[in-house]
């Protein structure tokens, strides 16, 4: 102890009200205790009462070690105190954990002084400052530090502390492998020394932004990592008070890749990897903007593989898919890099030629595409020949919007198909009119049966020799509310192509036989009814059953029904058609070869198939009275038919002269406007009168 220090202090044994005690009494945030040489309490201020729980009365006279010293510390404390008294060895100030009256620990910073009073006795004063708040704060700080450490460890993000000039001061990384370069290479360095220039520049820009705006800014960047390009998101924030920056970096490669995948799926066809319809049309729109801006030309090709459905149906979808992939590849190979080939869906492709010097160039490119398909496709050990039909539309001539151009190219493609496939066709406005009409007819035809828009007319047929009606041909009429009257020559081919001929054909058979029943009953005669059948109707395996059912339903004997078919049916050469025709013949139903003289007019069919009737096309009948060749052909056809026991019908008889000549030529039956136009059923029932007049 320092004697000079104690000497000038007021000293006494039991003082109650000296100025020092008054001062200590006034502060209750500090505990002050006085002890005599035997460590008995001689002073105990309010602060001590608060800190240790003993009141002044309880404490005075008690020994230090019995009050606030925990058991293990008692001996050393007693020893230190006696060392101080006897040998003047000061007890240094220190942090101690003492004891509260209630038994709990009290953390204090304890300082000690020794006074010698006028009686030469020594008094030790302890001044204890409560450390519990400090400890709490320290514990909190440690906890926060640990928490931060745990967070750093748990989060895959990288954390960097930067000085405002961009120097990297510190970092936290879960895994150092995530770092672009090793910490040694970047600590104390600037961004620009470590990162690629473009990325470093981005950082600098956003650090400045974060500084001036005083809030978090974020941006994305990419880095070339050993495993490929990685994508990152960086968030930068000025650290409050310190002039440092916190940069948090997150690897967003995964979400970036899935977003890219989604983008690909949305824009590319998964089978062929070509741009899909959406992307193709988007590119077309871009090309069209250039067309407008730079006054150039562009071409849109609409491609459709010929008979692809047949391949799919006969060889299966797997082969079909392989074929589409190979077809896509060949198209790409045949085009330049700048040209786009996309898949519109199914077996339809689109080709975009962006700047076209001359329209004829489009034809050259189309030819190149057609040629690319010349070589057979080798699949599963087979050689498959696949061809395509191409429709070409040129912008701006054939349209300036993607949708119009695509539609017009599609129209031209149909024209290419009509030209026999495996070819290309330019769009013309006339095509559009025809297409629109076709489209409207097709649209209206759906539901026409349900709306009862179809009606059968009947054109009487007469026996040329006796001039009596022997039957009629059923001819379909369509009265449509929107389009008016549509001729069968126009709507039957469309019904054929769309397949609607099947239900319409069933309607015709039923309707014709119902009328025939009525007609036969009213006149008590075995009239025949001729009904036209289209090639497509033979695809229906139920056809024969439908016919039998209709005959039975209307109690018509089989030989009163005559089915008219054209060579087109026979040219398919399918065994199923042959079988159906033989079945029809066996049932006693009559078979008639329609439109003889047009098309191939192969006489061999007459021998090959069980025909009962030959109908000479009206284009020959029109010429028989003036044209020797026509007359000779008709004469020969009649002679040959008769030798095969086939009856001959002359259709399109428009004059008395024609009828007389046909009579001379031994023609069996006649039909035509001279005798009667096709009539509604009710009119035919009354038609008899006029005809009997003729006889």
Judged by CB under 6 A, which of 489, 575, 656, 689 binds ligand C2E?
489
485 near ligand C2E, judged by CB under 6 A = no
Residue 476 interacting entry, from Ca ion, ligand C2E, none, C-beta within 5 to 8 Å by type = ligand C2E
121-180 residues in contact with ligand C2E (CB under 6 A) are none
Shortest distance (Å) from residue 487 CB to ligand C2E: 5
Q: Which is nearer to Ca ion, 152 or 674 (CB)?
A: 674
Residue 612 interacting entry, from ligand C2E, Ca ion, none, C-beta within 5 to 8 Å by type = none
Characterize 652-684 residue by residue with b for buried, 16 or more Cβ atoms within 10 angstroms of its Cβ, and e for exposed. bbeeeebbebbeebebbbbbbeebbebbebeeb
Characterize 453-484 residue by residue with b for buried, 16 or more Cβ atoms within 10 angstroms of its Cβ, and e for exposed. bbebbbbbbbebeeeebbbbbbbbbbebeebe
460 near ligand C2E, judged by CB under 6 A = no
Stretch that binds ligand C2E, among 107-115, 130-138, 427-435, 488-496 (CB under 6 A): 488-496
One symbol per residue from 592 to 611: x for binding Ca ion (CB under 5 A), - otherwise; what is it?
Answer: --xx----------------
Residue 535 interacting entry, from ligand C2E, Ca ion, none, C-beta within 5 to 8 Å by type = none
What value, to the nearest 5°, has the Cα angle with vertex 48 and ends 43 and 53?
A: 120
Q: Which is nearer to ligand C2E, 591 or 653 (CB)?
A: 653
Q: Which residues contact 305 (CB under 8 A, 6 or more apart)?
A: 324, 327, 347, 386, 387, 388
Judged by CB under 6 A, which of 304, 672, 681, 684 binds ligand C2E?
672
Which phi-psi region, left, alpha or beta, contains residue 242 (left: φ > 0; alpha: ψ -120 to 50)? beta
Neighbours of 330 (CB within 10 A): 20
540 near ligand C2E, judged by CB under 6 A = no
Q: How far apart are the first and last CA of the chain?
A: 163
Neighbours of 118 (CB within 10 A): 9
Q: Give the Cα separation of 431 and 420 in Å (integer).
A: 16
Stretch that binds ligand C2E, among 7-15, 34-42, 220-228, 481-489 (CB under 6 A): 481-489
Shortest distance (Å) from residue 530 CB to ligand C2E: 8
98 near ligand C2E, judged by CB under 6 A = no
Q: Which is nearer to Ca ion, 344 or 614 (CB)?
A: 614
Q: Give the Cα separation of 501 and 478 in Å (integer).
A: 13
One symbol per residue from 634 to 653: x for binding ligand C2E (CB under 6 A), - otherwise; what is it?
Answer: -----------------xxx
Which phi-psi region, left, alpha or beta, contains residue 452 (left: φ > 0; alpha: ψ -120 to 50)? left
Q: What are phi and psi of 279, to 5 degrees?
A: -70, -40
DSSP code of residue 598: B
Neighbours of 624 (CB within 10 A): 25
Q: Which is nearer to ligand C2E, 407 or 615 (CB)?
A: 615
Residue 534 interacting entry, from ligand C2E, Ca ion, none, C-beta within 5 to 8 Å by type = ligand C2E
492 near ligand C2E, judged by CB under 6 A = yes
Q: Which is nearer to Ca ion, 36 or 564 (CB)?
A: 564
Judged by CB under 6 A, which of 11, 528, 534, 554 binds ligand C2E?
534
461 near ligand C2E, judged by CB under 6 A = no
Shortest distance (Å) from residue 544 CB to ligand C2E: 16
Which phi-psi region, left, alpha or beta, contains residue 439 (left: φ > 0; alpha: ψ -120 to 50)? alpha
Residue 488 interacting entry, from Ca ion, ligand C2E, none, C-beta within 5 to 8 Å by type = ligand C2E
Stretch that binds ligand C2E, among 125-133, 346-354, 486-494, 579-587 (CB under 6 A): 486-494
What value, to the nearest 5°, has the Cα angle with vertex 600 and ends 594 and 604?
A: 80
DSSP code of residue 92: P
Q: Which is nearer to Ca ion, 347 or 564 (CB)?
A: 564
One symbol per residue from 506 to 545: x for binding Ca ion (CB under 5 A), - otherwise; what is it?
Answer: --------------------------x-------------
Shortest distance (Å) from residue 618 CB to ligand C2E: 5
673 near ligand C2E, judged by CB under 6 A = yes
Q: What are phi and psi of 121, to 5 degrees?
A: -100, 150
Residue 672 interacting entry, from Ca ion, ligand C2E, none, C-beta within 5 to 8 Å by type = ligand C2E
Shortest distance (Å) from residue 562 CB to ligand C2E: 12
508 near ligand C2E, judged by CB under 6 A = yes
612 near Ca ion, judged by CB under 5 A = no
Task: Compute the CA torsion angle 215, 221, 226, 229 (nearest 10 deg).
Answer: 140
459 near Ca ion, judged by CB under 5 A = no
> Pairing state of beta strands 30-35 and 377-379?
unpaired
Judged by CB under 6 A, which of 476, 569, 648, 670 binds ligand C2E?
476
Shortest distance (Å) from residue 659 CB to Ca ion: 17
595 near ligand C2E, judged by CB under 6 A = yes
Q: Give the Cα separation of 278 and 283 in Å (integer).
A: 9
Q: Give the Cα separation of 16 and 35 in Å (integer).
A: 13
Question: How far is Cα of residue 72 from the mean position of the Cα atoms in its chain?
Answer: 78
Long-range contacts of 514-519 (CB under 8 A, 24+ apart): 514/554, 515/456, 515/458, 515/474, 515/681, 516/554, 516/556, 516/560, 516/561, 517/554, 517/555, 517/556, 518/681, 518/685, 519/472, 519/681, 519/684, 519/685
Indicate the burial class of 395 (C-beta count within 10 angstroms; 0-12, 13-18, 19 or more).
Answer: buried
One symbol per residue from 564 to 593: x for binding Ca ion (CB under 5 A), - otherwise; what is it?
Answer: x-----------------------------
Q: Which is nearer to ligand C2E, 275 or 672 (CB)?
A: 672
Judged by CB under 6 A, which of 193, 440, 540, 654 binds ligand C2E?
654
Give me the residues that bind Ca ion (CB under 5 A), please.
532, 564, 594-595
- The site for ligand C2E (CB under 6 A) is made up of 459, 474-476, 487-489, 492, 508, 532-534, 564, 594-595, 618, 651-654, 672-673, 678
């Amino acid at each position: 102890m320092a004697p000079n220090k104690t000497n000038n202090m007021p000293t006494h044994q039991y003082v109650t009200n000296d100025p020092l005690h008054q001062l200590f009494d006034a502060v209750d945030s500090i505990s002050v205790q006085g002890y005599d040489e035997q460590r008995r309490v001689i002073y105990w201020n309010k602060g001590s009462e608060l800190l240790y729980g003993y009141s002044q009365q309880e404490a005075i006279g008690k020994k230090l070690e019995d009050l606030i010293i925990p058991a293990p510390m008692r001996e050393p404390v007693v020893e230190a105190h006696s060392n101080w008294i006897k040998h003047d060895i000061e007890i240094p100030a220190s942090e101690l954990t003492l004891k509260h009256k209630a038994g709990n620990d009290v953390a204090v910073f304890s300082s000690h002084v020794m006074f010698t009073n006028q009686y030469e006795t020594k008094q030790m004063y302890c001044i204890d400052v409560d450390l519990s708040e400090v400890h709490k704060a320290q514990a909190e700080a440690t906890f926060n530090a640990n928490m931060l450490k745990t967070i750093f460890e748990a989060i895959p993000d990288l954390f960097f502390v930067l000085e405002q000039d961009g120097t990297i001061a510190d970092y936290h990384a879960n895994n150092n492998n995530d770092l672009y370069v090793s910490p040694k290479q970047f600590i104390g360095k600037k961004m620009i020394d470590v990162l690629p220039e473009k990325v470093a520049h981005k950082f600098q820009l956003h650090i400045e932004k974060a500084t001036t705006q005083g809030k978090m800014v974020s941006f994305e960047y990419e880095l070339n990592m050993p495993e490929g390009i990685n994508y990152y998101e960086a968030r930068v924030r000025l650290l409050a008070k310190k002039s440092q920056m916190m940069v948090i970096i997150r690897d967003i490669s995964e979400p970036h890749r899935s977003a890219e995948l989604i983008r690909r799926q949305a824009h590319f066809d998964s089978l062929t990897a070509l741009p899909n319809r959406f992307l193709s049309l988007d590119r077309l729109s871009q090309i069209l903007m250039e067309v407008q801006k730079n006054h150039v030309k562009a071409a849109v090709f609409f491609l459709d593989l010929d008979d692809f459905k047949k391949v799919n149906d006969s060889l299966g979808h797997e082969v079909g898919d392989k074929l589409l992939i190979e077809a896509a590849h060949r198209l790409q190979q045949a085009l330049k890099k700048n040209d786009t080939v996309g898949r519109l869906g199914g077996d339809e492709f689109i080709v975009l030629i962006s700047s076209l010097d001359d329209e004829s160039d489009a034809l050259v490119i189309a030819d190149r595409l057609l040629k690319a398909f010349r070589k057979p496709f080798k699949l599963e050990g087979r050689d498959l020949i696949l061809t395509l039909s191409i429709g070409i539309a040129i912008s701006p001539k054939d349209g300036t919007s993607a949708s119009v151009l695509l539609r017009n190219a599609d129209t031209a493609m149909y024209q290419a198909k009509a030209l026999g496939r495996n070819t290309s066709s330019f769009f013309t406005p006339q095509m559009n009119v025809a297409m629109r009409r076709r489209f409207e007819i097709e649209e209206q035809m759906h539901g026409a049966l349900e709306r009862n828009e179809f009606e059968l007319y009947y054109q009487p047929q007469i026996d040329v020799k006796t001039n009596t009606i022997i039957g009629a041909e059923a001819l379909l009429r369509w009265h449509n509310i929107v389009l008016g009257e549509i001729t069968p020559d126009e709507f039957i081919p469309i019904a054929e192509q769309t397949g609607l001929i099947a239900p319409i054909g069933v309607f015709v058979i039923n309707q014709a036989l119902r009328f025939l029943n009525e007609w036969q009953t009213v006149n008590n005669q075995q009239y025949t009814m001729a009904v036209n059948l289209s090639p497509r109707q033979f695809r229906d395996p139920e056809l024969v059953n439908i016919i039998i059912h209709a005959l039975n339903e209307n109690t018509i004997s089989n030989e009163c029904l005559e089915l008219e078919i054209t060579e087109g049916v026979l040219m398919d050469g399918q065994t199923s058609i042959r079988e159906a025709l033989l079945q029809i013949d066996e049932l006693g139903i009559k078979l008639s070869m329609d439109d003889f003289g047009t098309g191939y007019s192969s006489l061999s069919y007459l021998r090959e198939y069980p025909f009962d009737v030959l109908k000479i096309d009206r284009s020959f009948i029109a010429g028989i009275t003036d044209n020797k060749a026509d007359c000779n052909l008709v004469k020969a056809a009649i002679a040959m038919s008769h030798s095969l026991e086939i009856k001959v019908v002359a259709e399109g008889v428009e004059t008395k002269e024609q009828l007389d000549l046909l009579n001379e030529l031994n023609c069996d039956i006649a039909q035509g406007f001279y005798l009667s136009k096709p009539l509604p059923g009710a009119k035919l029932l009354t038609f008899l009168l006029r005809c009997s007049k003729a006889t």
